[in-house]
Amino acid sequence: MSEKRLDEHLRTSVRLHPDHIAYHFDGRDVSYQELGEQVEHAAGYLSAQGAVKGQGLAILLPNSDAFVILYEAALRLGMYVVPMNPLYTPEELQYMLMDSDVQWIAGARPLMQFAPLLQAKVPGINLIAVGDGEEPLAAGVVDYRDIMSSTWPEAKLPGAVSEDDTAVILYTSGTTGKPKGAMLTHRNLCTNAEIIGDYLNYSGTDRVLAVLPMFHVFCLSVCLHASIYRGAQVVILPRFSPSEVLRVIEEKRITIFLGVPTMYNFLLRTAGEQKVDTRSLRLCISGGAAMPVALMEAFEKHFAVRILEGYGLSEASPVTAFAPVDGRERKSGSIGVTLPGLEQRVVDDQDEELPVGEVGELVVRGPSVMKGYWRRPEETAATLRGGWLHTGDLARMDEDGYFYIVDRKKDMIIVGGFNVYPREIEELLYAHPGIAEAAVIGMPDEAYGEQVVACVVVRDANLTEESVKAYCEAHLVKYKRPAQVRFFEELPKNQTGKVLHRALRERIQAV
């Protein structure tokens, strides 16, 4: 196809694989032919209500068939979609809804209690409530079930949707201020879907488990876009429960599982309590955060399946590096090699490329890199300076072209002038048999500027601060050793399972 558009991926799979199962949700299998009809139906409704190219649809839903259908319907009309975490606070949601300038919101039914507030803030906003329930909806809110059970005229399709049109706006986590909306074009997202689908050889016989949240780019691209592009089946779970995931892997004969390291940790711990047949798995993929080597090795040994670790970020649609699948060695602790069609390098503070083995910022260039931040020209220019996406991650590259993420640039701890990378210490802590989870942060220190603080969840209740410090002392140079060890029942995480280092600092400061 000459122009890369997400809707063309779906239309192609409907044409080539009409009888393949497109998705399984809530006990029902839906073919690509049926999915195409559902999308056309929803697009007809949106069109009949005045939706046109260039308008925005915010989706505030858990993983569901409605998410997929409304998402694809909006793209078909040339709209842009803004997926959001439905668990955000009203203040967080209000900021993003106002900033993104959407005219449509599809939200979980309980969220629609805020309908009058939304209608007062944004006159003329169109609201769609999704989910079961018989309680009356506020005036002006349409029930998704009514949309899908009614008849609508054929959608009025836009004259032309360009591959350079914005398809999705993804808001970053906002750890350093207000969230920024990364504008991803059809070309950006199609390119990444094609790279991933081809690289990992997705096919119509694959069953891909989508339990990562669809509002996150990892699931959106690697589960949904790549599967639709290659005609694979997506098995949709609305939320992560380790026992339920293991049951579904066995029952639905899942072939591809995607998760963040926290999920793999919970699955491993739960698997010791229940027998499950996971032999259908041909591939496990980890992303979202660096996976501790000890966890990877333990998971692979228990389940007899290989985990391939990748790397990406919202601004790159998202995947830029992946463990090699062509027979080359998989190197422990590496995010792999640069994916076809993309470029990566490690640079210093002057954006000069560094020699092999030296640590600097990872930068990326290629057709899946965003066109910029929504209404943030200065931040766009800074992040995309020199034509390269500056990731904010510290990395090194070895002589074979494998990349290793050392840490987030902003998470680096400086102790007495020495750089300390939290991930190195976290890897060591994960290797301790009495520690289930670990995160390392820097805290202010009068003498050394910062000190290392280890935050751990234990398996062994007898573990003490002194014993953890002694363990670290045997393996780390003095300036890297934790000055404090704090014990937690659970580490704070975001919706995708990434440990929130800032929240840990705030908790410790509050004590």
- pLDDT per residue as tens digits for the range 66-80: 999 999 999 999 999
Q: Does domain 186-408 have CATH number 2.40.50.140?
A: no
| C-beta of residue 410 within 8 angstroms of C-beta of residue 461 | no
| C-beta of residue 311 within 8 angstroms of C-beta of residue 397 | no
- pLDDT given for residue 80 in this prediction: 98
Q: How many residues does the chain have?
A: 511
Q: List every span in the chain annotated with CATH 3.30.300.30.
A: 412-510
- pLDDT given for residue 243 in this prediction: 94
- Main-chain dihedrals φ then ψ at residue 14, nearest 5 degrees: -65, -40
- Tell me which H or E stretch contains 194: helix 186-199
Residues of the chain with pLDDT > 90, as a percent, come to: 76
> What mean pLDDT comes out for the span 211-234?
96
| Residue-wise pLDDT tens digits, 80-100 | 999 998 887 787 788 899 999
CATH number for the domain whose boundaries are 28-183: 3.40.50.980
Q: Does domain 412-510 have CATH number 3.30.530.20?
A: no
> What mean pLDDT comes out for the span 353-378?
97
Q: Above 70 in pLDDT, residue 173?
A: no
DSSP SS3 for 60: strand
Instruction: Measure Cα distances from 11 to 1, 19, 48, 169, 209 in Å.
Output: 12, 13, 21, 23, 22
DSSP SS3 for 429: helix
- pLDDT given for residue 139 in this prediction: 92
Q: Above 50 in pLDDT, residue 296?
A: yes
- pLDDT given for residue 368 in this prediction: 98
The residue written with tokens 């209608």 in the block is: 119
Tokens encoding 259: 């998760």
Q: List every span in the chain annotated with CATH 3.40.50.12780.
A: 186-408
Q: Above 60 in pLDDT, residue 366?
A: yes
Neighbours of 212 (CB within 10 A): 27
- pLDDT given for residue 274 in this prediction: 72
3-state secondary structure 442-483: EEEECCCEEEEEEEEEECCCCCCHHHHHHHHHCCCCHHHCCC
- pLDDT given for residue 446 in this prediction: 81
| Residue-wise pLDDT tens digits, 401-426 | 999 998 777 788 888 777 788 888 99
Residues of the chain with pLDDT > 70, as a percent, come to: 98
Q: Above 80 in pLDDT, residue 289?
A: no
- pLDDT given for residue 177 in this prediction: 59
Lowest mean pLDDT among 299-303, 309-313, 417-421, 500-504: 417-421
- Main-chain dihedrals φ then ψ at residue 465, nearest 5 degrees: -60, -40
DSSP symbol at 373:
E
| Local confidence band at 176 (pLDDT 50, 70, 90 cut-offs) | very low
- pLDDT given for residue 206 in this prediction: 98
Q: Above 70 in pLDDT, residue 317?
A: yes
- pLDDT given for residue 18 in this prediction: 98
| Local confidence band at 2 (pLDDT 50, 70, 90 cut-offs) | low
| Gap between the Cα atoms of 221 and 167, Å rounded | 13
Burial of 424 (0-12, 13-18, 19+ CB in 10 A): middle
Instruction: Measure Cα distances from 95 to 33, 65, 67, 272, 503 in Å.
Output: 38, 27, 22, 43, 21
| Gap between the Cα atoms of 260 and 434, Å rounded | 22
Q: List every span in the chain annotated with CATH 3.40.50.980.
A: 28-183
* Crossing angle (nearest 10°) for helices 6-16 and 32-48: 140
- pLDDT given for residue 157 in this prediction: 85
Q: Above 50 in pLDDT, residue 367?
A: yes
Q: Above 70 in pLDDT, residue 175?
A: no
- pLDDT given for residue 406 in this prediction: 87
Lowest mean pLDDT among 23-27, 68-72, 330-334: 330-334
> What mean pLDDT comes out for the span 251-266?
93
| Residue-wise pLDDT tens digits, 453-498 | 999 999 999 999 999 999 999 998 888 999 999 999 999 988 778 8
Q: Above 80 in pLDDT, residue 510?
A: yes
> What mean pLDDT comes out for the span 384-400?
96
